[in-house]
Amino acid sequence: MKVSIVMGSKSDLPVMEAVRITLKKFGVLSEERILSAHRNPKKLAAYVSEANGKGIEVFIAGAGKAAHLPGVIASLTTSPVIGVPIKTTDLGGMDSLLSIVQMPSGVPVATVAINGAKNAALLAVQILALKDKALKNKLEQYKKELGEEKKPAPQPEERPIIDG
């Protein structure tokens, strides 16, 4: 099983790195590509059409601004596509979020929070775990550990002492 991590540009790498790291922790294989839906749509279409033969089961696509990459991928495959809206300087990522989440009927893209790359990876793991018992066990352990994380003890609030 493999996950394809696709980005619209090199500037998306710092955010999308969390996908690769998270997938690696679960032992899920992945590959990364930088393919713009706008600048090189033919290359993107060729990659997506070859992906199923390479064992790609889930796509995670990160894009900013007019973030059409996840939707274009979803239009070219029957595999699940998870969109990661990338924060932008123009509109703080709302432009990316709305571009990804507002897909037309029949072309779904699961969408996570702005810069929510780690959650995108975890969603991909959940999808893959539906048919992989070992992966499901790892995910259950991860969730258990999440619930057991020690939170720092609350510190007493410092208050000024007023004399008089």
List domains and CATH numbers for the chain.
Answer: 2-136 (3.40.50.1970)
**Which pLDDT score, from 0 to 100, does residue 157 have?**
55
Q: Which residues, in sequence order, are bridge partners of residue 31?
A: 4
Alpha helix (H) residue ranges in the chain: 13-25, 41-51, 69-76, 94-101, 117-129, 133-148
Cβ(65)–Cβ(135) below 8 Å: no
Cβ(45)–Cβ(97) below 8 Å: no
**Which pLDDT score, from 0 to 100, does residue 44 have?**
97
| Residues 4, 48: Cα–Cα separation, whole Å | 9
**Which pLDDT score, from 0 to 100, does residue 113 have?**
98
**Which pLDDT score, from 0 to 100, does residue 162 have?**
47
**Which pLDDT score, from 0 to 100, does residue 161 have?**
46
Per DSSP, 160 falls in state P
In the chain (164 residues long), the average pLDDT of successive 10-residue segments reads 92 96 97 95 96 94 94 97 96 95 96 98 98 97 86 54 44
